[in-house]
């Protein structure tokens, strides 16, 4: 009897140790508010109308997920992340109905070398450069975004079939790369993606640079490639891709400097499109580009000031210099000013008030004002004011 009890105690102790070496964490983020917009185009009409509506995800897209790790010994761990996106205002699944549309990957992490993961993941623009921009969801979020989120700093787009490597930190330096497979027999480069980036942090200084390239992103030529797309009544609509284009090249760099309670930053990005057929990230009917070339140069200056430990003021100004081969809209230019007051009720919950104003020139009838995350304006101006509540768990 004593031997049996001793055996049970030993087995139980081993089970406890094994459990302690593994962990699974449930997490999430909820963001909802009321937004006034000065000018929105109504379907079937060229007139603009103001609106007052409940909105979600003006900073953080709503979602929840699970992340887990298992200690394999010798500084090596098996890891995974499964992250769902949804719309709080109506409960619908995000990312066009995908169960884990925000992220879904598994891999191995080494304390000595870095991490290798495989699945549906974010590219280097999101991992390295986005933390320096006010447009990022980690800072002020969606309504602060650059036109159509053309540089993906707000992680509108994910890369399917991707393998990603992220290094450990080497004295402040870190780097990473990603490759998204087309998964197409006889079409290795048809709807593939690759990206790489680096960052350096030394005291108050934070620098980053990154690059992303897509081939046939968001097109009908390969529906199961690196970027999402799906067919609707014979028409092609991009599920995740901001653009439908034969080629997209996006690159950028940024610098942040912190002194006391203040942080200032500058970010530059450029997106070049060839054989572009549509802009899909307009929160209404997509913009037909007619197989054109298009370029966006984004210049963002930002500031973040902590008035008190609970109250922060965040502001940014973005100038986007565009160029296109579309007649009558060859030189579009966007100017957008953003301001937010954010008050923390607790480490997980905050309330905020934010406002935006955007003006577009040279856009013709193709490029009207369109604050990211809101329906486009009927003309070259648009303003928005939001009061919201955010919770992270």
- Cα–Cα distance between 14 and 202 in angstroms, integer? 43
Give the residues across from 211 on adjacent strands.
196, 251
- Reference 201, options 235, 227, 219, 175; nearest CA is 175
Write down the pLDDT at residue 10. 40
pLDDT at 125: 97
Residue 199 near residue 128 (C-beta atoms within 8 A): yes
**132 pLDDT exceeds 50?**
yes
pLDDT of residue 44: 65
pLDDT exceeds 50 at position 20: no
- Rounded to whole angstroms, the Cα distance separating 28 from 182 reads 31
Q: Which helix (H) or strand (E) holds 230?
A: strand 230-232
Q: Please state, in angstroms and rounded to a whole number, the distance separating the CA atoms of residues 57 and 206.
A: 27
Average per-residue pLDDT in the chain? Answer: 90
Q: Is the pLDDT of residue 235 over 80?
A: no
Question: Nearest 5°: phi and psi at 142?
Answer: -60, -50
pLDDT of residue 167: 98
Other residues' Cβ atoms within 10 Å of the Cβ of residue 1: 5
Tens-digit pLDDT profile for residues 169-218:
999 999 999 999 999 998 899 999 999 999 999 999 999 999 999 999 88
Is the pTM of the predicted complex or chain greater than 0.75? yes
pLDDT of residue 137: 82
What b-and-e string marks burial along 262-287, b requiring 16 or more CB atoms within 10 Å of the CB?
A: ebebebbbbbbbbebbbbbbbeeebb
More confident residue, 237 or 258: 258
> Average pLDDT in the 361-375 region?
91
Examine the pLDDT at 14 and tell me if it is beyond 60.
no
Per-residue pLDDT tens for 241-253? 889 999 999 999 9
Q: Tens of pLDDT along 278-328?
A: 888 877 667 888 899 999 999 999 999 999 999 999 999 999 999 999 988
Residue 8 scores a pLDDT above 60: no
87-131: per-residue pLDDT in tens?
A: 999 999 988 888 999 999 999 999 999 999 999 999 999 999 999
pLDDT, residue 239, reads 59
pLDDT at 232: 55
Residues contacting 371, CB < 8 A, separation 6+: 37, 143, 336, 356, 358, 382, 384
**pLDDT more than 70, % of the chain:** 91
Would the pLDDT of 67 be above 50? Answer: yes
Task: Determine the pLDDT at residue 80.
Answer: 98
Domains of the chain from N-terminus onward: 29-392 (2.40.160.10)
- What six digits make up the tokens of 390? 């955010």
Beta bridge partners of 106: 80, 118
Which H or E run contains 17? helix 2-20
Q: Check pLDDT > 60 for residue 19.
A: no
For residue 7, is pLDDT > 60? no
Calpha distance 39→93 (Å, rounded): 28
pLDDT in tens, 336-345: 999 999 999 9
Name the band, by pLDDT with cuts 50, 70 and 90, for residue 13.
very low
As a whole number of angstroms, the distance between CA 361 and CA 334 comes to 7
More confident residue, 60 or 168: 168
Of 244, 235, 248, nearest to 291 by C-alpha is: 244
Of 10-19, 289-298, 366-375, minimum mean pLDDT range: 10-19
How far CA 97 is from CA of 4, 84, 93, 226, 292, in Å, comes to: 53, 10, 5, 18, 30
């Amino acid at each position: 009897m004593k031997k049996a009890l001793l055996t049970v105690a030993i087995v139980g102790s081993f089970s406890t140790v094994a459990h302690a070496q593994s962990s699974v964490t449930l997490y999430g983020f909820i963001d909802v508010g009321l937004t006034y917009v000065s000018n929105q185009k109504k379907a079937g009409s060229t007139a603009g109308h103001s609106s007052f509506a409940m909105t979600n995800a003006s900073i953080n897209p709503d979602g929840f997920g699970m992340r887990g790790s298992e200690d394999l010994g010798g500084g090596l761990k098996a890891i995974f992340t499964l992250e769902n996106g949804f719309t709080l205002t109506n409960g619908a699944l995000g990312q066009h109905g995908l169960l884990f549309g925000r992220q879904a990957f598994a891999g191995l992490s080494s304390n000595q070398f870095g991490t290798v993961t495989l699945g549906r993941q974010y590219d280097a623009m999101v991992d390295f450069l986005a933390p320096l921009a006010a447009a990022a969801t980690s800072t002020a979020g969606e309504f602060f975004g650059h036109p159509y989120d053309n540089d993906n700093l707000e992680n509108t787009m994910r890369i399917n079939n991707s393998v990603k490597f992220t290094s450990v930190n080497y004295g402040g330096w870190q780097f990473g790369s990603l490759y998204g497979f087309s998964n197409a027999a006889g079409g290795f480069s048809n709807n593939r993606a690759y990206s790489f980036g680096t960052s350096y942090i030394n005291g108050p200084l934070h620098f980053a640079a990154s690059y992303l390239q897509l081939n046939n992103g968001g097109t009908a030529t390969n529906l199961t490639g690196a970027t999402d797309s799906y067919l609707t009544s014979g028409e092609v609509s991009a599920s995740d891709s901001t653009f439908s284009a034969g080629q997209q090249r996006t690159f950028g760099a940024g610098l942040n400097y912190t002194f006391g309670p203040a942080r200032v930053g500058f970010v530059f990005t450029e997106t070049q499109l060839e054989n572009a057929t549509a802009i899909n990230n307009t929160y209404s009917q997509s913009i037909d580009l007619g197989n054109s070339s298009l370029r966006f140069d984004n210049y963002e200056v930002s500031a973040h000031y902590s008035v008190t430990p609970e109250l922060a003021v965040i502001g940014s100004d973005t100038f986007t210099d565009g160029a296109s081969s579309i007649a009558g809209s060859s030189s579009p230019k966007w100017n957008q000013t953003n301001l937010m007051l954010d008050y923390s009720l607790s480490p997980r919950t905050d309330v905020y008030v934010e406002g935006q104003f955007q003006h577009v020139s040279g856009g013709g009838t193709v490029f009207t004002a369109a604050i990211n995350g809101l329906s486009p304006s009927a003309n070259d101006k648009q303003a928005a004011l939001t009061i919201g509540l955010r919770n992270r768990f």
